Amino acid sequence: VTVSVLYCCVGHKNRANMGIFSSKEKLHIITCGLDNGGKSTIINALKPTQLRNDNISATVGYTVEEFEKGKVSFTVFDMGGAKQFRQSWQGYYKNVQGVIFVIDSTDKLRLVLVREEIRMLIEHDDLRGVPILFFANKADLPGAKTPQELTDELGLSEMIVDRPYNIFASDARRGHGLEEGINWLTNRLVKS
């Protein structure tokens, strides 16, 4: 398995043409969500075991992770979720084929902000029709909202009408729910 982990300041168009994963289906995914939701932990858990990092810290700006999973090679843009970084997300939307949006299912106080970020994401022209995989992360913790509760409270069914989406409960630290979610997204994007 050939994997490159690239940090900051490298254009993904150039990497896509390098031929690193020539025999695999190539997918460009962006991972968004508020800070402290578990985005980097989820991406780390999706990577092959030998490539995982034991020390995950908050993403400053963004990182790019490249790895293979089955017959697919992923280039994943892990976007920092802190307020000062969220405005830069849209600069990475072009040529993205799928979105992973991570929600901290225990953070009830910021659901209004989550809804607003989702609204801005789905209204962006570069993401029209792009499938969205939601992870309701930290589902293992007390007080965590279920995927159905989040769907209802965020108004996802009313807000998202022009693309496929799904929401999966996840526990990024243990890997629960991640395979089901990434398989759903991959099945929407890969030609049979």
Task: Please report, for the domain that includes residue 83, its CATH number.
Answer: 3.40.50.300
**pLDDT averaged per 10 residues in sequence order, the chain, 192 residues:** 30 35 75 86 84 68 75 76 65 86 95 94 93 97 98 97 97 94 94 60
Residue 7 CA: distances (Å) to CA of 41, 62, 93: 16, 7, 17
Rounded to whole angstroms, how far apart are CA atoms 28 and 76?
A: 6
What are 134's two structure tokens? 């939601």
Report the pLDDT value the prediction gives residue 97, as an integer from 0 to 100. 94
Contacts of 33 (CB under 8 A, 6+ apart): 39, 81, 101, 102, 103, 104, 114, 117
CA nearest neighbour of 182 among 163, 168, 192, 171: 168
Residue 138 CA: distances (Å) to CA of 106, 167, 178: 7, 13, 12
How many domains does the structure of the chain reveal? 1
Report the pLDDT value the prediction gives residue 10, as an integer from 0 to 100. 30
- Torsional class of 8: left (φ above 0), alpha (ψ -120 to 50), beta (otherwise): left
Q: DSSP for 173-185?
A: TTTBTHHHHHHHH
Rounded to whole angstroms, how far apart are CA atoms 119 and 23?
A: 36
Residues comprising the binding site for Mg(2+)?
A: 40, 59
Report the pLDDT value the prediction gives residue 24, as an integer from 0 to 100. 75
Considering the entire predicted model, what is its pTM?
0.81
Residues comprising the binding site?
A: 33-40, 59, 81, 137-140
Residue-range definition of the domain harbouring residue 47: 5-189
- Let me know: does 104 contact 41? Beta carbons within 8 Å: no
CA nearest neighbour of 137 among 172, 112, 91, 109: 172
Residues comprising the binding site for GTP?
A: 33-40, 81, 137-140
